[in-house]
Chain A
Amino acid sequence: MLDVTRIRSDFPILTREVRPGVPLVYLDSTATSQKPLAVIRAMDEFYRHSNANIHRGIHTLAEEATAKYEAARQKVAKFIGAASPRQVIFTRNTTEAINLVAFTWGRANLHPGEIIVLTEMEHHSNLVPWQILAAEKDIRLEFIPVGDDGLLDLKAYQKLLELEPRLVSFTHMSNVLGTITPAAQIIQMAHQAGAVALVDAAQSVPHFMVDVQALDADFLAFSGLKMCGPTGIGVLYGRKELLEAMPPFMGGGEMIRRVHLRSFVPHELPHKFEAGTPAIAEAIGLGEAVDYLTSTGMDAIAAHEREIIAYTLERLEEIPGVQVYGPTAEHRGGVAAFTLAGVHPHDISQILDSQGVAIRAGHHCAMPLHEKYNLPATARASFYLYNTFQEVDKLAEAIYKVKEVFGS
């Protein structure tokens, strides 16, 4: 059981008032999570005491900085169950991680006419890089459909696999519908069909235990900012043989072993894919976030979110005019996208803000999914380890207030 009161006291921003007398009710963790003091302090400490560039210097600060950066990598590797920290590549975010795979593995391995399978509920970051690659290399994109129940149509997926795609790239948890996909099964099916599997784990790694070896994932990408870590740091995990065979992504310092005027020899993993000075303080912050989540307990966090989302669905569904999209509570994580009849999501969001409730309105970087449901926009509330049942009540109350203002 999570001690949410104690957890909340770790997050300084949660005591904020958004206007005098109106406390913050933060329901937008799917966009970015709040950060515990331990993470903020770790980055501050680094700049106050250990700041230096890494990997090259021999002086004390350089050694300290390098040790901290590489310790963070090891923490992340352990957190996701990777066999070796060498398979954990620090990027700027999930988007960059996916682009890295598209423009190194993708470019080197895909040929005209070949097929990539995605899904209808992908975030733009797991769509656009493949669209760019598809145009460049004349590759076909196919999509696993999402049913009205918010779940992926696995029968249709099986049919798509008969086309012998080279890659299946899919979300582990939808940032709109909250659907948690059967990742291990999807990956197994992909492998049986001879395809490589990439998991967009931006919404899963922060919210429940993810083991890359148990999933047998070939690539897996996530961001620090959604898991109590800072912005500017993300992770690409990859199968060792794949990463070793991939050409470099960005070129420059740090990713080389040797440079001549007209040629270079790339460094070994993971450095091959980390060109230039990285986000050192941010990586350290992410390592601290991993410690925080581990000591809180990922299973406890997941259980808490399941209870919160079940309660949220209950409260939202009793409000006349509200429609929630996506699967039933047992198939979803702590995300609820909804509409209110007669009121545009922007207006819902604005009035909720006047009550201190922070949600998101728009298409949440999933335009194709919204087009499929014929929705110009939705409102979205999302939850994390620091949200309470009272906050769900505040959300419901604020929606009633919206109905009052609009007379709907």
Chain B
Amino acid sequence: MDDLYRELIIDRYKNPLYRGELEPHDISFEDENPLCGDFIRIDLRVDEGGRVKEAVFSGHGCAISQASADLLIESVHGKNLDEIKTLTKEDVLEMLGLELGPVRLKCALLSLKVLKAGAYGLGEASDELVD
């Protein structure tokens, strides 16, 4: 499975394009996968139409979790919150270009979980968001 670690993932892990924090922000949400120590926080600024004009992520963890966060954040620029709410795990896997087993899937989906929980304005992120 060396292709798992194809250049895109290693590159985005080592040289992320969207790492940072936004102060002030309109939406901020964070979550972790305590089972392995992956942690993602996402900050968004949205315009009056509810469209994302700025988005960044911060956190730490495995290459899959961090790279998928960077790719996901890239893709949400210009999307409105309703579109974000309909993002699925298939969308994330397509961005990564990967097939993943159930354990690594959690790494890849952590950022999506955080993003959707933020978009919904939830108190907590649940796995149901990414079913």
Contact = CB atoms under 8 A, between A and B. Distances in A.
Interface in A333-347: 343-347
A223 to B, nearest CB: 21
A363 B5 contact: no
Interface stretch (A70-78, A96-104, A195-203, A350-358): A350-358
How extensive is the interface on chain B, given as a class?
10 to 19
B36 A406 contact: no
A182 interface: no
B60 A376 contact: yes
Interface in B39-55: none
A406 to B, nearest CB: 7
Contacts of A406: 10, 14, 63
A354 B62 CA distance: 17
Interface string A367-408: 100000001110000000000000000000000000001110
B24 interface: no
Q: Which of A344, A363, A367, A405 has the most CB of B within 10 A?
A: A344
A361 B36 contact: yes
Contacts, number: 54
Interface in A213-241: none
B4 A376 contact: no
A376 B37 contact: yes
Interface in B6-37: 10, 14, 34-37
Contact of B62 (A346, A353, A375, A405): A346
Nearest to A362: B36
Given A362-B35, A362-B36, A376-B36, A346 B107 contact: yes
A353 B61 contact: no
B19 to A, nearest CB: 16
Given A345-B36, A362-B36, A405 B107 contact: no
Contacts of B60: 376
Contacts of A344: 36-38, 61-63
A407 B5 contact: no
A376 B35 CA distance: 9
Q: Which of B1, B60, B62 has the most CB of A within 10 A?
A: B62
Given A344-B62, A376-B61, A405-B5, A350 B35 contact: no
A354 B4 contact: yes
B103 to A, nearest CB: 8
Contacts of B63: 343-344, 346-347, 406
Contact of B14 (A354, A361, A375, A407): A407
A353 B1 contact: yes
A367 B61 contact: no
Given A351-B5, A354-B2, A405-B2, A346 B36 contact: yes
B86 to A, nearest CB: 28
Interface in A55-101: none
Nearest to B100: A350
A377 B60 CA distance: 12
A352 to B, nearest CB: 11
Contacts of A376: 36-38, 60-61
B9 to A, nearest CB: 9
B21 to A, nearest CB: 20
Interface string B77-121: 000000000000000000000000000100100000000000000
B76 interface: no
B56 interface: no
A102 B52 CA distance: 53
Contact of B1 (A354, A363, A377): A354
Contacts of A354: 1-2, 4
A405 B61 CA distance: 17
A407 B15 CA distance: 13
Contacts of B130: none
Given A345-B36, A376-B36, A405-B5, A350 B61 contact: no
Given A345-B62, A347-B63, A376-B38, 7 more contacts: A345-B36, A346-B36, A347-B64, A351-B5, A363-B36, A406-B10, A407-B10
30 contacts: A344-B61, A345-B36, A345-B62, A346-B36, A346-B62, A346-B64, A346-B107, A347-B5, A347-B63, A350-B1, A350-B5, A350-B104, A351-B5, A354-B1, A354-B4, A362-B35, A362-B36, A363-B35, A363-B37, A375-B37, A376-B36, A376-B38, A376-B61, A377-B36, A377-B37, A405-B2, A405-B5, A406-B14, A407-B10, A407-B14
The 8 closest A-B pairs by CB, nearest first: A376-B37, A344-B62, A346-B62, A354-B1, A377-B37, A347-B63, A377-B36, A347-B62
Interface of A: 343-347, 350-351, 353-354, 361-363, 367, 375-377, 405-407
